[in-house]
Amino acid sequence: MGVVKSRPQGLSKVIARQMLKKVKFKINASGQFNLCYGPGDVAELDSKQADLLLEAGAVELIEEPKQEQKEEPKPAKKVKK
C-alpha cells in the first residue's frame, strides 16, 4: 500500500503541499465516494476533500511528525589579545 500524491495544477509544490492532508481510509470508498481507495490505504488528498471524508467517518487523519529546524551555528566571536 503506497502513498498517493495528487497536486492541483498550476500550483507550486510548496503551496500545494500546504493544501494537502494525509489520511488513512477506514472503509472502501469506491462505492460511496467514487474513489479507488480501500481500507488501510494511505493518501494525500486536497484539504477540502479530506475534510468531507473526515466528516463522513470514512478516513482518519494521519499526523506527520514535524521536522525540527536546526539552528544555524552562530559565528564565533573574535577575541582580541
pLDDT in tens, 35-55: 899 999 999 998 899 999 999
pLDDT category at 25 given cuts 50, 70, 90 is very high
DSSP3 helix / strand / coil % (the chain, rounded to 5): 25, 20, 55
Q: Quick check: pTM over 0.75?
A: no
Cβ atoms of residues 20 and 44 within 8 Å: yes
| SS3 of residue 26 by DSSP | coil
The order of strands in the sheet holding 42-46 is 3-5, 42-46, 20-25, 59-61
